[in-house]
Structure 1
């Protein structure tokens, strides 16, 4: 089930207070993705995003997704503290109301040359469009089931780095992405980009769990990075965005 965020001209899949599971532009609008050539500390990234959207004639509420990079995987408590800090800007921008957050997000940790502090890699926002093609960003998701338990309780094949364990983690995550796409009425055939995040060799799972399921119609971008919480090992996100810019 999706909800509408009219101030941003997009629908979203409700999830947790720190992010939604995906955002899709309303009819008459499209998503533009803006990637920074250099990582920017969180506050600077938000400031640059605000200037870019305002220069494009768009309100701050059009901010619909972001991709972050962190120095290292968080503990559960550390992740909660980071998220409580992160959402403050979204609250100031009248996007986060204290409970519901429509903004999709990926936040991963580069294994090599990580940033010294949480930083912006990219952001997305909605803008008017004359086309009718779908436009969306699906948030990052790893091999963790939903629910109220700890990550240890909810993680698929917890701490299992065997080939079978990695394969099952990939299978679960691909299925999770497909479910999020389906919530908007879309499928892998609608994506223009798919990204994977892991420091482990998942090549053995690529043919059956990714390619044959249609997830690689536009290829696969592999980032040598860890998911944001300790002991998660494989994450993905995907999107359909016609307009992408590097600044």
Structure 2
């Protein structure tokens, strides 16, 4: 990945077409997070996000990150098709140009009671703020190197789910979180939340890798979800956000 790029109210780590690797608020702004009470289908979610931004007097390009929930892991071809539809809205909103997507994202698949179609779980946006310090969102990463070709050819211990394989995958993902945070001059000590997505046991390395590394300094939110592409097994994201809210649905 290259150096940080900027939008009007935040900087981002250039990533792949479907998302950036992370965002950080520009000086004079802060990132806030809103979570829907229940997942909201994609089209309705975009409409609700637009309405929320309008209600607080923020432009569409204040939208900087989101968390999605999908029915089941995609094939690589299916993931590309989904990403093309998703990113078309960002183009319409004037946020995305070409394949340069500044919006950070996580997209995971609940193993139990999944949504019937891709849906929004949460989203982030910038607001004017002074004196609050840095805020950032690191996008979700599984155990595959992004933008290097097929997932099959770039996944740590592809197809393996033994305890030592999951631990190796986790070590890679933790390192990727740290690498992405380093773009913002940040580390685990700066985070306010960390989220983990896997259906595999983590207890064997929870203390030695996650806790001792500092990734659970405020606890760890473990979602019993799978990453968005078949044969990926472990994903994380993290953030420093000082204002979070829940939006009622209905």
Task: Describe the superposition over 1:2-58 as per-residue Cα deviations: whole angstroms up to 9, x where unpaired.
Answer: 11112xx00000001110000100011101100000111000001001110111110
Task: Between 128-137 and 193-202, report the one with greater CA deviation.
Answer: 128-137
CA distance in 1, matches of 2:244, 2:102: 21
Correspondence for 1:211: 211
Residue 79 of structure 1 aligns to a residue whose secondary structure is: helix
Matched, 1:36 2:54: no
**2:16 and 2:146 in contact (8 A); partners too:** no
Size of the aligned set, in residue pairs, is: 245
Q: Which runs of 5+ in 1 are unaligned?
A: none
- Shift of residue 148 of structure 1? 2.6
**2:16 and 2:147 in contact (8 A); partners too:** no
Correspondence for 1:222: 222
Q: CA RMSD in A?
A: 0.8
Matched, 1:5 2:11: no
Moved over 3 A (4+): none
Task: Describe the superposition over 1:104-150 as per-residue Cα deviations: whole angstroms up to 9, x where unpaired.
Answer: 00000000000000000000000011224110110000100234321
CA distance in 1, matches of 2:17, 2:172: 23
Task: Describe the superposition over 1:48-92 as per-residue Cα deviations: whole angstroms up to 9, x where unpaired.
Answer: 011101111100000000000000000000000000000011001
Once the two structures are superposed, the pairs formed by residues 71-220 of structure 1 within 5 Å of their partners are 71-220=71-220
**2:193 and 2:220 in contact (8 A); partners too:** yes
CA distance in 2, matches of 1:144, 1:209: 19
Matched, 1:69 2:60: no
Q: Which runs of 5+ in 2 are unaligned?
A: none
Residue 30 of structure 1 aligns to a residue whose secondary structure is: strand
TM-score, normalised relative to structure 1: 0.98
CA distance in 2, matches of 1:223, 1:131: 33
Residue 97 of structure 2 aligns to a residue whose secondary structure is: coil
CA distance in 2, matches of 1:67, 1:148: 23
